[in-house]
Amino acid sequence: MRLTLALFCSILAAAQVLENRALRLQARGGGAFQLTDKATGVAWDLNPPRVISKAPAEGYQASSGPGRALRFTLQGVAFELRLTDNPPAVEYSFTPRAEVEEVLLLNQSLEIGPGQRNYYALPQRMGVLMPVEGDKPHSRRLRAYETGRGYSMAMFGAVKEGSALMLTWEDPYTEIVVDYAVEPRRKLAASLAMRRTARSVRLRPLGGGGYVEIAKAYREVARQRGYLKTLAEKARENPAVERFFGAADFKPFAFMRRAPNTRWNKSDQWTADLNFTFEECAQLAEHYKNDLGIDRALLVLNGWINGGYDNRHPDILPAAPEIGGDAGLIECARRVKALGGWVFGLHDNYQDFYQDARSWDESYLMKNADGTSRKGGVWAGGLAWLICSKKSLELAARPRNLPAVKKQFAPDLYFSDTVFAAPLYECFDRDHPLTKAGDLRYKQELGAYIRKMFGLYGSEEGREWGVAGSDYFEGLMSHRTRFQNPNDTDIVIPLFELVFGDAIPIYAHQSDRPRPDNPGYILDHVLFAEMPVYYFGRHRYWLDPAQEFKPPAGAEARMVFARGGRFGLIDQFIKNTYEVLSPLHRLTALLPMTDHRFVTQDRRVERTRFGKDVEITVNYGPAEYEEPRFRLPQYGFVIESPALVAFHARRYRGLPYEDPPLFVLRSLDGRPLGSSRQVRIYRGFGDRRVEFKGKTIEVDVEKVL
């Protein structure tokens, strides 16, 4: 009896099944498979891969695999799916031909339709929740470790009918492609595009759950890869790490020269901004410590180098004479360190090379495939050229660079700009060629050198491969704070925080600072338990009435956290929000974020949990939100834990408030509030009454009981 080809393929596919206690993988013919999560019964369809080649080959051929593997060949490329038991997963890999340019290993696969329990969790920056919503089709391609539309972690999450699936890989030549279609039906589909050395992906069904469970599963992977090193582990190696706990970031742009005929300076002449002398930088820190009681903070100077911010790199010395020179910077460092609890830092850059640098030398630059030098951005100092990361450390280690900085100024912290913000590059210079993987490795080596020299190290944005070797990120939090507006369609979720929140402090970008009329920025930091990079004026602004913040029309409701009247609006805003955020960050720094969820259907009320006992609820509004324990106005929040309670609420623990107050109740001896022998109560504004140990007491500004 003769079998048709279709029937033969059907019989062969039915025979090709792999399974273990947690999953079932079945071939469906032609390179297609179905992966079933036994815990939930949910099945994921894996479409045949797509091979893009300069010399296409023909044909599909199935082949049996010994033991725990299924194999097939498509267009001359050999593919294999192998089962693993610990953890239960599928390792999907291929061996390409030389002519292959790209393989979409998962091609329009993992399809999901509409539903509240169906979505993708993208590791784009902080994290993006992508449900099956919208009237317009779109496509998104995420490249490895790029700030704009790239991914910050080498993983991808999919949730279907409440069943979670995690994909992981290692090679940076892997890209995530997500396509949203509306016809003939609304659906999301995902692909993994692989080039060069990328060869494989692991698919791991996780049973019932969502993006929180996916992030917790990825913590295990990050630990195995050496990316997850907690702050507790770092602090055992270097106790100075604890100086970040509860530390706000104050970052004055001291001095900047602007090149002509650029977006920074439209004139034909160089211009200069002198915002702070080194003397005024020291006075700024002293003002915050002595007048506002800011006892933990970073003072990281921008524009201290010769030529000012983003000028003449990598030739940074002597320090800018226009604002005090080397002697002024030495004295500034001494005064800031003398405050106790303050960390003195300097901002530098070893990716950008400017042609007006005394040591200009094209041999240090990255080269394009055609041999030309690679241009960087046009910044304050004009066009910058990109230094090959293989050469960056050589420049940083020159006697007149970091060794001289340490000897003269001895900063506690050093910030090297762009290291984690720039994409991974290739360099085609014959003397220092570089792949993306090599670029990653040499950037890690630069960070390790700086950290070893100064003790504390940070850089811009944030990537998973920078967590273990850094002490803070500046910029990643801006994915949340900058995009809380009606025109943004991304639903930002704390995917990165859920994985690495107890491993590194995450700040917003230096250009993203909260003014007194930006309560949403503060709520973001309350929800994620992170510290802000504060906005402030120039020179001795607190003594200059002309620099007082002037609220725009209609901003009265948004000025909520600047209330109190004891300082100017800028300083009152800093004081009130620091009194909430600093104790919260000190409490949660060593605790992982263990949960996040949207409480209301419109996603305007959110809740997080840290460890077992710290729960935070925030209301972005405009409607009030009520539970049995509290009632929150717009911009209201509640932080509840055994040793710390803080709230801006219309009702809390039975006390109603006509004028919703800001209160912070903090145990000073580490015991629960109910049994603590010393509790400090801070009131920022509003009603003076608060319930404590069953009694109603009144507080003017602060009281210690």
DSSP codes joined into one string, 69-97: EEEEEETTEEEEEEEEETTEEEEEEEE--
- What SS3 state is found at 658? coil
Q: Which amino acid is at 98?
A: A
pLDDT value for 59: 75
Contact assessment for residue 155 and residue 495, using Cβ atoms and an 8 Å cutoff = no
Confidence of residue 65 (pLDDT cuts 50, 70, 90): low
Residue with structure tokens 């005024």? 280
- What SS3 state is found at 655? strand
Full DSSP string of 201-217: EEEEEEEE--HHHHHHH
pTM of the full structure: 0.95
Contact assessment for residue 112 and residue 187, using Cβ atoms and an 8 Å cutoff = yes
Confidence of residue 15 (pLDDT cuts 50, 70, 90): low
The string of pLDDT tens digits covering residues 641-677 is: 999 999 999 999 989 999 999 999 999 999 999 999 9
Q: For 470-490, what is the mean pLDDT? A: 83
Burial classification of residue 654, based on how many CB atoms lie within 10 Å of its CB (0-12 exposed, 13-18 middle, 19 or more buried): exposed
For helices 436-454 and 402-409, give the axis angle rounded to 10 degrees.
Answer: 20
pLDDT value for 482: 83
Between 76 and 2, name the one with better pLDDT. Answer: 76
Mean pLDDT of all residues belonging to the chain = 95
CA 22 to chain centre: 33
Q: For 71-81, what is the mean pLDDT? A: 93
Number of CB atoms found within 10 A of residue 187's CB: 17
Radius of gyration of the chain (CA): 28
Is pLDDT of 110 > 60? yes
The string of pLDDT tens digits covering residues 579-625 is: 999 999 999 999 999 999 999 999 999 999 999 999 999 999 899 99
Between 253 and 62, name the one with better pLDDT. Answer: 253
Q: For a pLDDT cut of 70, what percent of the chain falls above it?
A: 96
Is pLDDT of 1 > 60? no
pLDDT value for 99: 87
Confidence of residue 3 (pLDDT cuts 50, 70, 90): very low
Q: For 161-178, what is the mean pLDDT? A: 98
The string of pLDDT tens digits covering residues 289-324 is: 999 999 999 999 999 999 999 999 999 999 999 999
Cα distances (Å, whole numbers) of residue 465 to 176, 237, 456: 18, 19, 17
Distance separating alpha carbons of residues 417 and 309, to the nearest angstrom: 11
Full DSSP string of 7-67: HHHHHHHHH-EEE-SSEEEEEEETTEEEEEETTT--EEEEPPPEEEESS----EEEE--SS
Distance separating alpha carbons of residues 45 and 42, to the nearest angstrom: 10
Distance separating alpha carbons of residues 666 and 371, to the nearest angstrom: 61
The string of pLDDT tens digits covering residues 548-567 is: 999 999 999 999 999 999 99
Distance separating alpha carbons of residues 586 and 388, to the nearest angstrom: 38
Contact assessment for residue 348 and residue 416, using Cβ atoms and an 8 Å cutoff = yes
